[in-house]
Structure 1
Amino acid sequence: MQHMRLLFLCIANYEDEFRKALGAKRTAESKKELSAKKRALQKSENRMSELDRLFKRIYEDMVNGKLSEARFQMLSDDYEQEQDELRAKIEMLENEIQNQENHVESVDTFIRLAKKHLYLEKLTPEVLNDMVKAVYVHAPDKSSGHRVQDVDISYNHIGILPANLLYDIMNGKAA
């Protein structure tokens, strides 16, 4: 409850900084990664087109007698296998690109949901369903002589937000 109140306070008073801090996860590295994935996707799509042309060419060569049927079958099997691998790779790359591009939408969605619950009095099932994806309760630690047990809250759309990140945002130290 304390963490959620801190989060809502941070969003209410420091929304731009909060957005920027969550956007910091999308650094230049992730932009490079995204552009590399887009290049790999384009390359794979180009190879798919090339394989279609090659397949037509070897079929025409077989029909014209320039290529034996056994050789045609071997080549077509190789091309089909490569196309199947490329289809899987293209699908995976498209999903990864879409996930990275949806990050900004996820932050906006989370902020919109959080604004519905800015003045949280008590935790209700509605609040938990809207905001929380999972709660991770760690094993207790008694090494200091006191029983300490950490709890992490994974929020919908954005994941785990450590309290120190929220304090940094409010103190102007984040991103």
Structure 2
Amino acid sequence: MTNQEEFLTRLQREILTEQPEQTKQLKKGIAAKNKRVAELDRLLKKLYENYALEKIPEERFDALSAEYESEQTQLEKAVLDEQRQLDEIQSGEDKIERFMALVERYRDCTEYSDEALRQFVEKVIVHETVKDEDGERSREIEVYLNFIGKFDIPVQPVELSPKEQKRQEALKKRRIHQRNKRAQARQERMNAQLKNESPI
């Protein structure tokens, strides 16, 4: 299996995995809401007939018709929203095809221009810098691709050679030492400042 086939398989799995259950729930919700809209239509007609035949007072007619019409409007808006979600889910295959066509178009490029990157990247979200317990800073960056949205690339742990492991440990110790020296220098400056400010 080629890298492209593996990538396509993973993309389909991640984008289309939840589709069957979501599609089922949305279709069920749309059907239930449409059924209630039809019921409300019948109730409104019957209510109007009763009002026209003077079987119910005008105040009661006004209150019930306003209630039914309000519910009907809310249901129709909900149906439109759920239908939009359903259409979006069902266009998942199309999105994958469009993205893969883009990949194919730029597959043999050796240099990527800004325009090529804009073709692929929808948006980039850069989160605040955070420190871990060792004082190491890190920052999460989310990349959203056109057509497929956020796509996490699996990160495989890198096996370091013993020499590289020693180098990394030495770097870490050096950073900790430098951080401690800066903290000590800050403390000494603060102590000196306090000493200068204290009355004699």
User: What TM-score comes out, normalization by structure 1 length?
Assistant: 0.75
CA-to-partner distance for each residue in 1:17-50, whole Å, 9 max, x for gaps? Answer: 32221222222x4411210111110111111111
* Percentage of identical aligned residues: 26
| AA partner of residue 116 (structure 1) | R
Q: CA deviation at 1:135?
A: 2.5
Q: 2:148 aligns with which of 124, 145, 158?
A: 158
1:80 to 69, 82, 88: 69
Alpha-carbon distance between aligned partners in 1 of 2:119 and 2:49, rounded to the nearest angstrom:
59
User: Which residue is equivalent to 2:191?
Assistant: none
Report the CA distance shift for 1:145/1:122 in structure 2 as closer, same or farther (over 3 A): farther
Closer/same/farther in 2, CA of residues 126 and 60 from structure 1, 3 Å limit = same
Taking a change above 3 Å as real, the CA distance of residues 153 and 56 of structure 1, as seen in their structure-2 partners, is: same
Q: What does 1:21-60 correspond to in 2, within 5 Å? A: 21-25=10-14, 26-27=16-17, 29-60=18-49
1:131 is displaced (CA, Å) by 0.9
Instruction: Please report how far the alpha carbon of residue 151 of structure 1 lies from its aligned counterpart in structure 2 after TM superposition.
Output: 4.2
Q: How far did 1:152 drift?
A: 3.8
Cα distance, 1:139 vs structure 2: 4.9
Q: CA deviation at 1:149?
A: 5.5
Question: Which structure 2 residues correspond to residues 62-141 of structure 1 after superposition, within 5 A?
Answer: 62-139=51-128
Q: Could you tell me the TM-score, scaled by structure 2's length? A: 0.67
Higher relative contact order (CA 8 A, sep 6+): 1
CA RMSD of aligned residues (A): 2.5
Gaps of 5+ in 1: 1-9, 168-175
Q: For the residues of structure 2 that align with 1:66 and 1:147, how far apart are their CA atoms? A: 76
Matched ranges for 1:10-29 at <5 A: 13-25=2-14, 26-27=16-17, 29=18
What code does the residue aligned with 1:163 have?
A: I
- The ranges of structure 1 where at least 4 consecutive aligned residues each deviate by more than 4 angstroms after the TM superposition are 138-151
Q: Which has the larger radius of gyration?
A: 2
**Aligned counterparts of 2:147 and 2:33: Cα–Cα separation in 1:** 30
**Residue 76 and residue 137 in structure 1: after superposition, are their counterparts in 2 closer, same or farther (change >3 A)?**
closer
Long gaps (5+) in structure 2: 157-200
Please state how far the C-alpha of 1:142 moved relative to its aligned partner: 7.3
Q: 1:141: how far off?
A: 6.6
- Please state how far the C-alpha of 1:116 moved relative to its aligned partner: 0.8
